[in-house]
Amino acid sequence: MSGLPDGELAARILRSRFGVPAASVSRFPTGLCHYVYDLLAEDGRACVVRIAAPATRPQLEGGLGWYPYLHGAGVPLPELYASELGEEYSYMLLERLPGSDLGQVYGGLSSPEKRSLAVSIAGIQASVGRLPPAKGFGYALSYEGAALAPSWLDVVAGDLARSEERIRRVGRADASCVSRARAALREREPYLRGVEPRPFLDDITTKNVIVADGALSGIVDADMVCFGDPLFALGLTEMSLRSSGLDGDYVEYWLDAMGATREQRAMTLAYSLVFCVNFLGELGQSFNKIVEFSEERASGLYEIFEELHSRITRP
């Protein structure tokens, strides 16, 4: 293979597994790590192929390693048809689940559908949480190979530090939001230090949750498992909804399904603040696509930051 993974490579992978050519190939627009293609074979079979360049092979290898754990825990993952870990590229060829990412259909969901979906996701996280804990905290590609942090506080602090580095590198966003977020979290340190290294899926937010006809179709792109506070995923979901101009009802239903305490609800807001800074740090960054700095998006994130900060620090 020369150059970056492309649609021609995706079609060749499909043909090598099923012996039929692709009738259509299109790249999903949302991937920041892998090159992900939507394939329709000439025999009508719908598939997805996730292709990793050498630099991101460990993440895809993590997805293959976690697959049996998560499948065994009852997570509704797509069927894995074929996979390969190679020097030039690696891939997973998967069933194409019907439906779209939650964020794409959220505006059309009814309140009962949001509540039912939230109950399903809360149940999935509870099942993942019954897998064995890790010896440390943070994002792991496997139980064995993770360079985990000694506390959950270190993971959250590390997220803010990474955001600060990104903000300062681009030099366009207001870096003072980082110190303000740190100050808001300082009084919550006892909670953060008391978190146990429970496994949870950190990236089942407004993406990677596939919804069809108002109901859960399945979960995709589970390359990592995070060990720590599962409320972190709710904070990211809350921020994803807010930044897209959508209501946060789904997160409230999710918290209700968990039986969340007042303290847990307050921590979810605090995590949302951390992810607001994270989103500011992503502006102007290039992952596997060129991304321009958006003043309009930055302005919207500042507004969200101020609203969250006011609620969190209110006496």
CATH class as words, domain 100-313: alpha beta
Sign of CA dihedral 182, 187, 188, 191: positive
Query: What is the third-level CATH fold of 7-95?
Result: Phosphorylase Kinase; domain 1 (3.30.200)
* Predicted confidence band of residue 286 (pLDDT cuts 50, 70, 90): low
- Flag the least confident range among 6-10, 54-58, 72-76, 285-289: 285-289
**C-alpha separations of 5 from 12, 53, 64, 184 in Å:** 11, 7, 19, 43
For 21-66, the pLDDT digits (tens) are 999 999 987 666 789 999 999 999 999 999 999 989 999 999 999 9
DSSP 3-state of 270: helix
Angle of CA points 97, 200, 263, to nearest 5°: 125
Given a cut of 90, whether residue 122 has pLDDT beyond it is yes
- List where CATH 3.90.1200.10 sits in the chain: 100-313
Query: Exposure of 95 by Cβ count < 10 A (0-12 exposed, 13-18 middle, 19+ buried)?
Result: middle
Amino acid identity at 111? S
DSSP letter, residue 56: G
Contact 185, 195 (CB under 8 A): no
Q: What length is written for the chain?
A: 315
C-alpha dihedral, 63 to 46 to 37 to 2, nearest 10°: 90
The whole-angstrom separation of Cα 135 and Cα 117 is: 32
